[in-house]
């Protein structure tokens, strides 16, 4: 599939493609036509940060001065959207997927990487506003706390007006560790190497909607931003 980069505020998609959204535009509306398969990925652009507070989930009103983004993705009849995103630094974003036809599917899988200075607010919305038939929608968010001074707000939300649907949502906040980290260190990896491996695995999972030839490069850029090294 070809890759389309977001360079305008209004986009219509009528053929199968990857969409790579680097946050060049604040407000974007994407209309996906009928019988189309689209794989979309948002990667937050680099933004300077200054906050130093304890890692907690906070109301939106306390996430101030963050870069604000809005994405509205409409999915037509018999079409499929697989959406992912990686958020970090200071960002306030709302991504809405809205099904507007029968036999349509949308998934939204978002990752927030919260370092010491991060202030992140993510709202993922799965919407079906009319009684369409045989539709499926889901929105999930994973928040990984990498430091002790991050503020993260995650709000996966469903707005459903049909009974003929498969649906779900989740929001998870955690630090790298647990059985996976123990397993890797018990096999000889250092603690830092094991954490890097787990982190990159999670990043790559959320870059799966980007063309495979670009994933490793973008993952490396994200990782270097997290540890404050030039790409």
Who has greater pLDDT, 178 or 75? 75
Mean pLDDT of the 43-66 span: 49
Q: Residues 88-103: pLDDT tens digits?
A: 888 899 999 999 999 9
Q: Is residue 59 included in any domain, yes or no?
A: yes
- What's the gap between Cα 80 and its chain centre? 17
Mean pLDDT of the 34-57 span: 68
3-state helix/strand/coil string of the chain: CEEEECCCCEEEECCCEEEEECCCCCEEEEEECCCCEEEEEEECCCCCCCCCCCCEECCHHHCCCCEEEEEEEEECCCCEEEEEEEECCEEEEEEEEEECCCCCEEEEEEEEEECCCCEEEEEEEEEECCCCCCEEEEEEEEEEECCCCCEEEEEEEEEECCCCEEEEEEEEEEECCHHHHHHHHHCCCCHHHHHHHHHHHHHHHCCCCCCHHHHHHHHHHHHHHHCCCCC
Q: Is residue 90 included in any domain, yes or no?
A: yes
Question: Most confidently modeled of 47-51, 145-149, 226-230?
Answer: 145-149
Quote the pLDDT of residue 123. Answer: 93
Q: Is residue 140 included in any domain, yes or no?
A: yes
Residue 30: is its pLDDT beyond 60? yes
Q: How confident is the model at residue 60 (pLDDT cuts 50, 70, 90)?
A: very low
Quote the pLDDT of residue 134. Answer: 96
Q: Is residue 204 included in any domain, yes or no?
A: no
Q: Is residue 51 included in any domain, yes or no?
A: yes
Q: Is residue 215 included in any domain, yes or no?
A: no
Q: If phi over 0 gives left and psi between -120 and 50 gives alpha, with beta otherwise, what is residue 192?
A: alpha
- Computed over every residue of the chain, the mean pLDDT equals 83
Q: How confident is the model at residue 216 (pLDDT cuts 50, 70, 90)?
A: confident
Quote the pLDDT of residue 23. Answer: 92
What's the domain range around 170? 2-175
Who has greater pLDDT, 84 or 214? 84
Residue 55: is its pLDDT beyond 50? no
Q: Is residue 58 included in any domain, yes or no?
A: yes
Count of domains for the chain: 1
């Amino acid at each position: 599939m070809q890759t389309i980069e977001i360079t305008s505020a209004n986009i219509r998609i009528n053929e199968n493609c990857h969409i790579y959204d680097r946050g060049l535009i604040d407000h974007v509306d994407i209309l996906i036509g009928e019988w189309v398969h689209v794989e979309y990925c948002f990667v937050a652009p680099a933004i300077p940060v200054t906050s130093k507070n304890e890692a907690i989930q906070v109301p939106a009103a306390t996430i101030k001065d963050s870069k604000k983004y809005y994405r509205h993705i409409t999915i037509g009849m018999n079409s499929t959207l697989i959406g992912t995103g990686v958020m970090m630094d200071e960002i306030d974003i709302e991504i809405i997927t809205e099904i507007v036809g029968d036999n349509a599917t949308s998934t939204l899988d978002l990752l927030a990487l919260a370092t010491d200075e991060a202030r992140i607010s993510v709202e993922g919305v799965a919407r079906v506003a009319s009684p369409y038939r045989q539709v499926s929608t889901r929105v999930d968010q994973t928040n990984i706390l990498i430091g002790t001074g991050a503020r993260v707000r995650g709000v996966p939300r469903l707005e459903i007006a049909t009974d003929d649907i498969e649906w779900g949502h989740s929001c998870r906040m955690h630090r790298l560790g647990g059985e996976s980290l123990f397993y890797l260190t018990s096999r000889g990896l250092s603690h830092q190497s094991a954490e890097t491996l787990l982190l990159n695995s999670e990043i790559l999972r959320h870059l799966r909607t980007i063309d495979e030839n670009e994933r490793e490069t973008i993952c490396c850029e994200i990782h270097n931003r997290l540890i404050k090294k030039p790409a």
